[in-house]
């Protein structure tokens, strides 16, 4: 049984020379829910973009769903890793909700019947079945975030990777999203500044700072360590 | 995640940097005009202009390799002139033994080389101009060359939001890539028409968001008293070094042209 | 980085660098660009008022960024959009002229994508011709075919495709007039390559139009009621005629040497050009010595006369129908 995500000694520098990842090691086992926390500039978003091959590290390796990161595997990797970005506007580029959620399955070449089935199940999983024919542009940010999750769920990924899911949400929308994530029975890796979310939903946490994972383990243990949190620009609410 | 639309300005305080933007822009335009007016085959003159570019690159501290590296940008366009060695009539340079013998003429080759060289040195001077002039100064310089203020303001605004919107496109493209999956056994990617349609929709939704953003921006500006015109501080006038550069430049380019035509 | 990438990947060859057009040809381009930009500024100032600068500025940034949106076509090539036709349809012709001018200006100034002396023609080709073509064709087809979703698709697609072809045509003419590329080769290459590229433009433009139509149709209305629809028509007709005249005049003129030789070889000159010849004998103005310059000036004058006549005609017609 493979690890869903296996990152080993990953190093990555941007074209302008800035070293963003300095040897990252991270394993996520199937079925686990892990949070990724750390200050801005730690490299969290950069790391996430390595998980579906958008960035390629200069050193080290990334294996996802048992597949190594080569060009030949990218298509399957993107089906296995459902990456949801922070700003839903970047992901909802179709006129209707149906079109957006159907993009993934359509790209995969599934037949029409299967596409419809996938769209309906994905919207059901985020409790937005009635939105199927709505115009994405007019939705509220909370609604858009849930649709954005549906757009990757329709590809039946092995793992859901989310970048700042609760950013910009009002308390009600945030509560709805937390409930949604709790009810989704999937492997998850979530990058977030929302420490209350982390404490509530994620049994495992990895702390990232300066391009490396500096601590990893059970959330209850790590988040109780005030000194550790403070050293890496974090605090509990 | 920042898009690296590199700001082309290379800070410095050389005698070139310190010139009034009007001089920098104006002399660059004169340089390019001179290159353009030179007859074909004036290789001596081209060499002098090239030496000028190199001198400016060195004196300004921008560096020769910086300029040379970026100067090959227009290379693909060379194809436009590629037929010249074959079509301009004149003395045969050599005959290519295909299709019954294609003639390459000396005149044609000279013209081809001349166009490429002129283009190459022009782009180098343009690169230098941008490297020694911060963008806001350049816009001010253009204003002083009688480009209408509203157009300058539009470009200035555009520059401010260029990075924001380019970042957004980058994220759109990444989000699309993240959902561009494949399963073994099925042909992925859809049809060309479908892919094009999706790209169009991305453009359309970005256009809508841009409109709405521009409305928010206008509201913010109106709340700060904007009524259609920008006020800015007055700029210093040309100093004696500026005039010196201008005069020398005009004389220099003028003499190159006169010498080449005689 | 995205811009570097988009230059390399973008297949259209319409951003002319310095050196490929002769000085006289470049100056004619600047004259045209200046006149049209001045006109566009006046038209949009009245229409947009204070909003002119933020709206057009942000939309110019949009067009610039949107040129990097691509879709894979085949074997590593991808389709892109220049955006002139889309801008024209959504914003109205004169706002679109300013937007595209800003884009082209900035690309040349900051990224050396397009030259400085030749910018006049780059603006006319990509910022005026594309707009007039896209706008006029779209409005004509959309109006004639019933203003439905289908007519929007057809009008948008044909308008966008033609806009690229016309820009390519004009570029070929300018290159020929400068003696850089023989006219027949230039036309074949430019029109041929851009016939394919225009398909990318058409697909992306229509995709964008449809999304805007289904989400905020009021914005499309805005483009329709933007000022200058009728003046756009006359200027468009004038420019089209001028381009045709220019093609024939440079095929026949004495100055671009390679051109004439090729033209003679192809018996191009033997086509029925006699009546046109007699207006400007030998395509030169008798009192100006240098052949190239007088040839160019003859065409410019001819163009301006055609423009002027059409514009006056248009005004008279409008006054008649209004009164």
DSSP A129-193: GGGTTSBGGGS-HHHHHHHHHHHHHTT--SEEEEESTTTT--HHHHHHHHHHHHH--SEEEEE-S
Q: What is the mean pLDDT of residues B47-59?
A: 95
Q: Of all helices (H) and strands (E), which one includes residue A113?
A: helix A112-125
Among chain B residues, CA nearest to A99: B198
Beta bridge partners of residue A213, listed in sequence order? A208
CB-count burial class (<10 Å; 0-12, 13-18, 19+) for B34:
buried
Tens digits of per-residue pLDDT, B5-29? Answer: 566 788 888 888 888 888 999 999 9
B45 touches chain C (CB under 8 A): no
Mean pLDDT (chain A, rounded):
92
- Judged by CB atoms within 8 Å, which residues 4-43 of B form the interface with C? 4-6, 8, 28-29, 32-33, 35-37
User: Is C251 within a domain?
Assistant: no
Q: What is the mean pLDDT of residues C203-216?
A: 94
A15 touches chain C (CB under 8 A): yes
- Whether residue C180 is found in the same domain as residue C302: no
pLDDT band at C245 (very low <50, low <70, confident <90, very high): low
- Whether residue C174 is found in the same domain as residue C122: yes
Please answer yes or no on whether A93 and B205 come within 8 Å at the CB atom.
Answer: yes
Task: Please give the pLDDT value at position A28.
Answer: 93
Please answer yes or no on whether A83 and B178 come within 8 Å at the CB atom.
Answer: yes
User: Is C99 within a domain?
Assistant: yes
User: Is C252 within a domain?
Assistant: no
Cβ atoms of A109 and B190 within 8 Å: the answer is yes
Nearest by Cα to B107 from C261, C189, C171, C175: C261
- Judged by CB atoms within 8 Å, which residues 90-129 of C form the interface with B? 90, 98-99, 101-103, 105-106, 108-113, 115-117
User: Is C247 within a domain?
Assistant: no
Tens digits of per-residue pLDDT, A174-225? Answer: 999 999 999 998 899 999 999 999 999 999 999 999 999 999 999 999 999 9
Q: What is the mean pLDDT of residues C215-226?
A: 83
- Whether residue C139 is found in the same domain as residue C69: yes
Rounded CA separation C269/C252 (Å): 6
The alpha carbon of residue A154 and the mean position of all alpha carbons in its chain are separated, in whole angstroms, by 15
Cβ atoms of B198 and C71 within 8 Å: the answer is yes
Q: What is the CATH number of the domain that holds C135?
A: 1.10.1760.20
**Chain C residues lying within 8 Å of B159, measured CB to CB:** 61, 106
Task: Please give the pLDDT value at position C283.
Answer: 43
Domain count, chain C: 2
Q: What is the mean pLDDT of residues B169-183?
A: 93
Q: What is the mean pLDDT of residues A113-131?
A: 95
Mean pLDDT (chain C, rounded):
78
- Whether residue C175 is found in the same domain as residue C315: no
User: Which of A137, A139, A144 is the best residue to mutate to test the C interface, defined by the most C CB atoms within 10 Å of its own CB?
Assistant: A137
Task: Please give the pLDDT value at position B57.
Answer: 94
Cβ atoms of A199 and A219 within 8 Å: the answer is yes
Cβ atoms of C47 and C144 within 8 Å: the answer is no
B190 touches chain A (CB under 8 A): yes
Rounded CA separation A176/A178 (Å): 5
Secondary structure (DSSP) of B156-199: HHHHHHHHHHHHHHHHHHHHHHHT----TTS--S--HHHHHHHH
Task: Please give the pLDDT value at position C132.
Answer: 93
Task: Please give the pLDDT value at position A219.
Answer: 93
Nearest-Cα distance to chain B for C59, in Å, is: 6
Classify strands B102-105 and B92-96 as parallel, antiparallel or unpaired.
antiparallel
Tens digits of per-residue pLDDT, B73-115? Answer: 777 888 888 888 888 788 888 887 777 778 888 888 999 999 9
Tokens of C312: 């006056």
Please answer yes or no on whether B159 and C106 come within 8 Å at the CB atom.
Answer: yes
Nearest to B1 among A45, A95, A155 (CB): A45
Rounded CA separation C133/B222 (Å): 35
Nearest-Cα distance to chain B for C169, in Å, is: 13
Nearest-Cα distance to chain B for A69, in Å, is: 14
- Whether residue C182 is found in the same domain as residue C48: yes
**Chain A residues lying within 8 Å of B207, measured CB to CB:** none
pLDDT over threshold 50, residue C269: no
- Whether residue C41 is found in the same domain as residue C105: yes
pLDDT over threshold 60, residue C273: no
B187 touches chain A (CB under 8 A): yes
Neighbours of chain A (3+ CB pairs under 8 A): B, C
Question: Of B199 and C182, which is predicted with more confidence?
Answer: B199
Please answer yes or no on whether A78 and B172 come within 8 Å at the CB atom.
Answer: no
B243 touches chain C (CB under 8 A): no
Please answer yes or no on whether A75 and B4 come within 8 Å at the CB atom.
Answer: no
CB pairs under 8 A between A and C: 12
Q: What is the mean pLDDT of residues C236-265?
A: 55
- Whether residue C207 is found in the same domain as residue C262: no
- Whether residue C7 is found in the same domain as residue C147: yes
User: Which of B124, B148, B158, B206 is the best residue to mutate to test the C interface, defined by the most C CB atoms within 10 Å of its own CB?
Assistant: B158
What three-state secondary structure class fits B77? helix
Please answer yes or no on whether C13 and B79 come within 8 Å at the CB atom.
Answer: yes
Rounded CA separation C99/A139 (Å): 30
What pTM, to 2 d.p., does this model score?
A: 0.86
Please answer yes or no on whether B175 and A91 come within 8 Å at the CB atom.
Answer: yes
Task: Please give the pLDDT value at position C265.
Answer: 41
CA dist C116 → A4, B32, B34, B122 (Å)? 54, 8, 13, 9
Question: Of C137 and B224, which is predicted with more confidence?
Answer: C137
Cβ atoms of C1 and C99 within 8 Å: the answer is no
Q: What is the dihedral of CA B250, B252, B253, B259, to 10 degrees?
A: 130
Tens digits of per-residue pLDDT, B209-246? Answer: 999 999 899 888 888 876 666 656 667 788 888 889 99
- Whether residue C40 is found in the same domain as residue C86: yes
Task: Please give the pLDDT value at position B80.
Answer: 82
Please answer yes or no on whether A85 and B181 come within 8 Å at the CB atom.
Answer: no
User: Residue C74: what are its φ and ψ, rounded to 5°?
Assistant: -165, 145
Q: Is B3 left (phi over 0), alpha (psi -120 to 50) or beta?
A: beta
**Chain C residues lying within 8 Å of B207, measured CB to CB:** 59, 62, 66, 86, 90, 208, 212
B196 touches chain C (CB under 8 A): yes
Rounded CA separation A39/A19 (Å): 16
- Whether residue C221 is found in the same domain as residue C285: no
User: Is C113 within a domain?
Assistant: yes
Most confidently modeled range among B221-235, C189-203, C226-240:
C189-203
pLDDT band at A12 (very low <50, low <70, confident <90, very high): very high
Q: What is the mean pLDDT of residues C35-43?
A: 89
pLDDT over threshold 80, residue A2: no
**Chain B residues lying within 8 Å of A45, measured CB to CB:** 1
User: Is C118 within a domain?
Assistant: yes
Q: Which domain holds residue C212?
A: 2-226
Rounded CA separation B180/B172 (Å): 12
User: Residue A37: what are its φ and ψ, rounded to 5°?
Assistant: -125, 165
Cβ atoms of B53 and B124 within 8 Å: the answer is yes
Secondary structure (DSSP) of B96-117: E-STT-EEEEHHHHHHHHHHHH
ipTM for the complex shown? 0.91
Nearest by Cα to A115 from A132, A93, A138, A137: A132
Beta bridge partners of residue B103, listed in sequence order? B95
- Whether residue C220 is found in the same domain as residue C263: no
User: Is C237 within a domain?
Assistant: no
- Write down how long chain B is: 262
Task: Please give the pLDDT value at position C261.
Answer: 42
DSSP letter at A96?
Answer: B
Q: What is the dihedral of CA A163, A167, A168, A173, to 10 degrees?
A: 100
CA dist B118 → B78, C21, C109 (Å)? 12, 11, 18
Q: What is the mean pLDDT of residues C299-308?
A: 59
Please answer yes or no on whether B218 and C59 come within 8 Å at the CB atom.
Answer: no
User: Which of A71, A81, A109, A164 is the best residue to mutate to test the B interface, defined by the most B CB atoms within 10 Å of its own CB?
Assistant: A109
Tens digits of per-residue pLDDT, B113-159? Answer: 999 999 999 999 999 999 999 988 888 888 888 888 889 989 988 99
- Whether residue C210 is found in the same domain as residue C264: no
Tens digits of per-residue pLDDT, C104-124? Answer: 999 999 888 999 999 999 999
């Amino acid at each position: 049984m493979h690890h869903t995500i296996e990152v080993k000694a990953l190093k990555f520098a941007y074209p302008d020379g800035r070293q963003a990842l300095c040897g990252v090691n991270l394993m996520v086992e199937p079925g686990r829910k892990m949070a990724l926390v750390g200050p801005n500039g730690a490299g969290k978003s950069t790391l996430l973009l390595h998980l579906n091959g958008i960035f390629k590290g200069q050193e080290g390796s990334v294996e996802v769903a048992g597949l190594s990161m080569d060009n030949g595997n990218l298509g399957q990797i993107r089906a296995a890793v459902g990456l949801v970005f922070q700003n839903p506007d970047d992901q909802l580029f179709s006129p209707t909700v149906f079109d957006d959620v159907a993009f993934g399955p359509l790209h995969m070449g599934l037949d029409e019947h299967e596409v419809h089935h996938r769209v309906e199940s994905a919207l059901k999983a985020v409790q937005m079945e009635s939105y199927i024919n709505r115009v994405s542009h007019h939705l509220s940010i909370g609604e858009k975030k849930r649709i954005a999750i549906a757009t990757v769920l329709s590809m039946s990924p092995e793992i859901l990777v989310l970048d700042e899911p609760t950013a910009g949400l009002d308390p009600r929308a945030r509560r709805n999203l937390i409930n949604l994530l709790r009810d989704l029975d999937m492997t998850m890796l979530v990058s977030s500044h929302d420490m209350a979310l982390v404490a509530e939903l994620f049994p495992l946490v990895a702390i990232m700072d300066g391009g490396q994972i500096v601590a990893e383990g059970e959330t209850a243990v790590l988040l109780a360590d005030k000194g550790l949190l403070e050293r890496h620009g974090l605090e509990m609410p | 995640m920042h898009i690296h639309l590199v700001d082309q300005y290379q800070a410095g305080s050389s005698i070139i940097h310190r010139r009034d933007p009007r001089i920098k822009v104006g002399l660059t335009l004169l340089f390019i005009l001179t290159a353009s007016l030179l007859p074909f085959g004036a290789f001596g003159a081209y060499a002098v202009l090239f030496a000028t570019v190199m001198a400016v690159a060195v004196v300004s501290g921008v560096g020769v390799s910086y300029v040379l590296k970026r100067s090959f940008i227009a290379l693909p366009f060379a194809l436009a002139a590629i037929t010249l060695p074959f079509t301009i009539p004149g003395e045969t340079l050599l005959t290519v033994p295909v299709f019954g013998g294609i003639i390459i003429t000396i005149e044609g080759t000279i013209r081809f080389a001349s166009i490429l060289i002129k283009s190459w040195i022009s782009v180098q001077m343009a690169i230098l101009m941008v490297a020694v002039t911060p963008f806001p100064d350049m816009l001010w310089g253009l204003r002083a060359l009688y480009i209408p203020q509203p157009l300058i303001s539009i470009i200035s605004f555009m520059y401010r939001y260029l990075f924001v919107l380019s970042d957004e496109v980058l994220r759109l493209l990444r989000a699309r890539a993240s959902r561009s999956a494949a399963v073994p056994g099925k042909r992925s990617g859809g049809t060309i028409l479908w892919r094009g349609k999706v790209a169009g929709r991305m453009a359309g939704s970005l256009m809508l968001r841009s409109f709405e953003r521009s409305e928010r921006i206008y509201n913010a500006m109106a709340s700060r008293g904007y009524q259609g015109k920008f006020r800015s501080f007055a700029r210093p006038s040309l100093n004696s070094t500026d005039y010196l550069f201008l005069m020398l430049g005009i004389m220099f380019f003028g003499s190159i042209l006169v010498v080449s035509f005689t | 980085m995205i811009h570097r990438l988009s230059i390399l990947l973008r297949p259209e060859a319409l951003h002319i660098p310095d050196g490929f057009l002769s000085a006289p040809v470049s100056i004619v381009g600047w004259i045209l660009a200046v006149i049209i930009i001045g006109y566009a500024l006046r038209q949009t100032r009245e229409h947009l008022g204070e909003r002119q600068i933020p709206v057009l500025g942000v939309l110019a940034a949009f067009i610039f960024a949107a040129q990097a949106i691509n879709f894979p076509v085949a074997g590593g090539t991808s389709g892109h959009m220049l955006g002139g036709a889309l801008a024209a349809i959504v914003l109205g012709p004169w706002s679109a002229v300013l937007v595209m001018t800003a884009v082209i200006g900035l690309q040349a100034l900051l990224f050396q994508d397009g030259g400085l002396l030749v910018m006049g023609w780059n603006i006319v080709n990509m910022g005026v011709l594309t707009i007039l073509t896209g706008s006029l064709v779209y409005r004509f087809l959309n109006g004639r075919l019933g203003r439905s979703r289908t007519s929007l698709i057809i009008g948008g697609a044909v308008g966008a495709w033609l806009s690229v072809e016309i820009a390519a045509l004009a570029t070929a003419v300018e290159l020929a007039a400068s003696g850089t590329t023989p006219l027949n080769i230039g036309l074949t290459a430019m029109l041929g390559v851009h016939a394919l590229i225009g398909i990318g433009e058409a697909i992306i433009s229509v995709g964008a139009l449809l999304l805007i139509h289904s989400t905020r149709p009021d914005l499309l209305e805005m483009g329709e009621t933007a000022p200058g629809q009728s003046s756009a028509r006359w200027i468009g007709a004038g420019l089209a005629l001028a381009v045709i005249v220019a093609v024939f005049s440079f095929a026949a003129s004495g100055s671009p040497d390679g051109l004439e030789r090729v033209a003679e070889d192809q018996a191009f000159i033997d086509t029925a050009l006699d009546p046109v010849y007699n207006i400007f004998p030998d395509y030169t103005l008798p009192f100006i010595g240098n052949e190239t310059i007088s040839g160019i000036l003859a065409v410019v004058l001819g163009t301006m006369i055609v423009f002027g006549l059409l514009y006056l005609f248009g005004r008279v017609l409008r006054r008649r129908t209004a009164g």
